[in-house]
């Protein structure tokens, strides 16, 4: 059984492991159905997708139409203008076979120029406010990749009363003192304001560089059950965060297994050994967007 936690101020008890629906990005419907069967059987009750996740919203559509009441449903837009964001939300609603999305998020808002555009007159924020007023979405959030994410999220939640944030979080990343300080500062503010904190990249061990991807992710991931157990246990030992699953089906199954068999938090000695064994390197080294 996957433990649950109230998702910020929404009143929804979400499984602390959230299905990252990038796993459906390149799937045909038969493969998507296999993946969604696994998600349903696991008890996961929260789905996180995005308009930019390839086939994801299309493949989710039949499942949402049939099982809408079983899932807290989140999607995202990378559009920064009112017009484009509104159009993309309408498309997402159509593809997902639903009249309302539980959480709509500004996707990867970590670039200052884009941030200013999103919050300016005629910016995406106007579409977000309007969509909530019209009942097309229930809650609003912001997501980000890279080292700038926690600082930019702090700016965003000071500017607007978002209900959720999403950003990278894993052991090796938190050894970066500046990022760790920024992450914890953001986490404290989110706790004070009951803003849900979702985390990504729990399995990341470094960049692909010139290597061919072996999994449906753009980075090198941990890929043994033992190592994934340690990484998942480390993330979920923080009671204030959710873990969004990897975009690869095989890794998803191992994450689910780890989540259902949680142990006490691995200590630094264990995690340092994991770093050495897997030649782990920071995935983010600058203000990637």
Cβ atoms within 10 Å of 278's Cβ, excluding its own: 18
Judge whether 282 lies within some domain.
no
Provide the whole-model pTM.
0.95
Look up the domain containing 210 and give its range: 4-277
Bridge partners of 73, per DSSP, are 47
pLDDT at position 289 is 47
Question: Does residue 195 lie within any of the structural domains?
Answer: yes
Residue 31, CB-side half-sphere exposure with 13 Å CA sphere? 12
Place 217 in a pLDDT band, splitting at 50, 70 and 90.
Answer: confident
The reply to whether 286 falls in a domain is: no
Residue 226: CATH number of its domain: 3.20.20.100
Residue at 172 is within a domain:
yes
198, 197, 196, 200: which is closest to 245 by C-alpha?
200
Q: Spell 52-71 as b/e; 16+ CB within 10 A means b.
A: bbbbbbbbbbebbeeeeeeb
Torsion over CA: 198, 132, 73, 215 (sign): negative
Question: Of 40-49, 178-187, 277-286, where does mean pLDDT reach its minimum?
Answer: 277-286
Averaged pLDDT, 207-216: 63
Q: For residue 193, what pLDDT is reported?
A: 98
Q: Provide the token pair at 225.
A: 């059950």
Q: What is the pLDDT of residues 246-267, one digit of tens each?
A: 888 899 999 999 999 999 999 9
Please indicate, yes or no, if residue 288 is contained in any of the structural domains: no
Q: Answer yes or no: is 289 within a domain.
A: no
How many separate domains does the chain show? 1
Q: Which long-range contacts (CB under 8 A, 24 or more apart) does 60-64 make?
A: 60/21, 60/24, 60/32, 60/36, 60/95, 60/96, 61/95, 61/96, 61/97, 62/29, 62/97, 63/33, 63/36, 64/96, 64/97, 64/98
* Residue 149 contacts residue 105 (beta carbons within 8 Å): no
Closest among 196, 287, 192 to 243, alpha carbons compared: 196
Strand partners, 6: 13
Q: What is the mean pLDDT of residues 199-225?
A: 78
Assigned domain for 79 exists: yes
Q: And the tokens for 67?
A: 């099982």
Whole-number pLDDT of residue 205: 87
CA 46/CA 14 separation, integer angstroms: 6
């Amino acid at each position: 059984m996957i433990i649950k936690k109230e998702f910020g101020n929404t009143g929804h008890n979400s499984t602390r492991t959230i299905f990252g629906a990038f796993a459906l990005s390149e799937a045909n419907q038969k493969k998507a159905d296999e993946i969604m069967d696994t998600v349903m059987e696991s008890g996961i009750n929260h789905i996180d997708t995005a308009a930019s996740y390839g086939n994801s919203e299309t493949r989710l559509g039949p499942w949402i139409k049939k099982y809408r009441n079983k899932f807290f449903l989140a999607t995202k837009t990378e559009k920064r203008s009112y017009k484009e964001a509104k159009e993309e939300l309408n498309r997402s609603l159509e593809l997902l076979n639903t009249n309302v999305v539980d959480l709509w998020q500004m996707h990867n808002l970590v670039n200052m120029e884009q941030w200013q555009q999103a919050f300016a007159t005629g910016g995406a924020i106007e579409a977000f406010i309007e969509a909530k007023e019209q009942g097309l979405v229930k809650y609003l959030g912001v997501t980000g990749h890279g080292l700038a994410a926690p600082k930019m999220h702090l700016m965003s939640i000071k500017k607007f009363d978002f209900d959720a944030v999403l950003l990278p979080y894993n052991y090796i990343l938190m050894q970066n003192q500046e990022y760790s300080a920024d992450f914890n500062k953001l986490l404290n503010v989110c706790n004070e304001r009951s803003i849900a904190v979702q985390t990504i990249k729990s399995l990341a061990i470094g960049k692909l560089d010139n290597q061919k991807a072996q999994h449906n992710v753009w980075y090198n991931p941990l890929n043994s059950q033992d190592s994934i157990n340690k990484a998942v246990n480390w993330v979920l030992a923080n009671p204030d965060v959710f873990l969004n699953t990897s975009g690869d089906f095989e890794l998803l199954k191992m994450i689910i297994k780890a989540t259902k068999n949680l142990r006490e938090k691995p200590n630094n000695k264990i995690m340092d050994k994991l770093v050495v064994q897997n030649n782990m390197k920071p995935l983010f080294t600058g203000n990637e967007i």
